[in-house]
Amino acid sequence: MKSKQTSKLWGAAFGQTPSEAVIAFTAGRDVAAVPPADAKLLPYDLWVNKAHCIMLAKTGIIPKSDAGKIFAGLIKLEKLAKAGKFPLDPAKEDVHTNIESWLTDKLGIEIAGKLHTARSRNDQTNTDTRLFLRDQVVQFVENTSTLVHELLIQAKAHTGTVMPGFTHHQHAMVTTWGHVLAAFATMLLRDTARFTHWYTLHNYSPLGNSVAYGTTFPIDKAFTAKMLGFDGPEVNSLDEITNRWEAEADLGFDVAILMNHLSLIAETLILFATPEFGMVKLADQFSTGSSIMPQKKNPDPLEVIKGKASYTAGILSGLLSMGKSNFIGFNRDSQWTKYLIMDLVEECLPAPIVMKGVIETLTVNNTVMTSWCDKGFIGATTLMEQLINEFHLPMRQAKVIIEKAVKASTGQEKVSFPALQQALADEGEGLPVTEAQVVNWQNPAIIISLTKSFGGPGKQSMKTSLKKLHKKLQKQKSWLLQKQKEKASAEAFLTEYV
């Protein structure tokens, strides 16, 4: 009998299996190791070292000949790092010591020992981390914008797909699937705006702050800031070193809000995809199976997003706690903010892309959505509003009339004409309302056509709001392009100066 290898305990009933990226997203750290924090900082530390080396030579703090040898060594080391041939040695404590030790081995302490002039590991690691965070912010904006783009495509396609809107998990008023998707896009665009605001607040260079109290060497902080693509140097050396946690906590907050929004979307889709709702169906690529139940196709990627939202809230709490009891100056406990923010980024950065795949491959059951709009007196509010519009009833009186009509229509799904007539009679109102009007004002399609308020599911309103959302999305795409240009410009400036 031929033996079979088992890579996972489910999937034979699936038409398509999830991608490796989705499996990795849902599996988390179960079988995958997390790389050392400083391994992520290696390319940034090399960049910072190059900029610092050039500045030391420019200002005459170290001889240009020595700076040239150091710079050449950094270039060689950068090539090794890109080829994966420079593993960090745990015996050397951190990435900074690993790099300096390598340079010392190659150049001797007489030359390599000059690189650390006029700086401390405080400002060095702070700058590395700031550069790392800056790139993650750009990636969060890009990933979230990609999701928003897909949501807007689907929203436009479903502006006429009527469905029930909910409050308190119960039928409330008629809306459209396009309106719901546009709501998701709107909240996510606010998230991208938060990330861009982070960039505005924190794109300043900590390099040159040393141990928090500056240096007597004639360094040029504006020059190194330009070579690293910052908007300038931080204006107070003590503030930046003391509040090392702050940029991390700000980003943690931004990610936590994003993950809460993604969790909201996930929970909505999970419920709508249940057999009880049956409004949407998740694609096999974004489902997983059971180790024991052959029939199961579970919304695990969406549930993992919910779990990561809670995980993020915990990390944010930790980041905030790091900053609450610092004494002025450097505090070693702030080192742990690096681990917290890197874990948060590692867990959450793929989430918008996973959600984009879910939305893109989702099957919408228009028939079921429409059928749900004929239940639970969902047209009662519009019926009330039309009585007010047509016959100028006071709102509070009209509400009492419809409440009585709903009660008299118990056992039905809509307010009946006889029940409304009885309610009007009870209130002493002899309105010339017709049965056709009562029927039409509770018709889901007519309700949507009657909805005129901006931001609502009405056709014209959706057209206008989608246009505005596209404009906001384009603004974020322009911001991304600008940041890419700025980074390229900084790298070009460093190269040209050399």
Query: Where in the sequence numbering do the catalytic residues fall?
Result: 168, 290
Strands (E), 126-274: 162-167, 170-176
Q: Are 242 and 258 in contact (CB under 8 A)?
A: no
Distance CA 181, CA 160 (A): 12
189, 144, 129, 73: CA torsion to nearest 10: -130
8 A C-beta contact, residue 204 and residue 230: yes
- Alpha-carbon span 405 to 232, nearest angstrom: 68
Q: How far apart are CA 60 and CA 57, in angstroms?
A: 5
Gyration radius of the chain's alpha carbons: 30
Instruction: Give helix 121-157 / helix 37-58 axis angle, nearest 10°.
Output: 120
Q: How far apart are the first and last CA of the chain?
A: 67
Roughly what angle, to the nearest 10 degrees, separates helices 64-82 and 37-58?
Answer: 160
Neighbours of 390 (CB within 10 A): 13
Using CA atoms, how far apart are residues 174 and 372, in angstroms rounded to an integer?
9
d(C-alpha 233, C-alpha 239), whole Å: 12
User: Of all helices (H) and strands (E), which one includes residue 364?
Assistant: strand 363-364
Those residues whose C-beta lies under 8 Å from the C-beta of residue 314, and which sit 6 or more positions away, are none
Tokens of 273: 């995809």
Element (H, E) at 280: strand 280-281
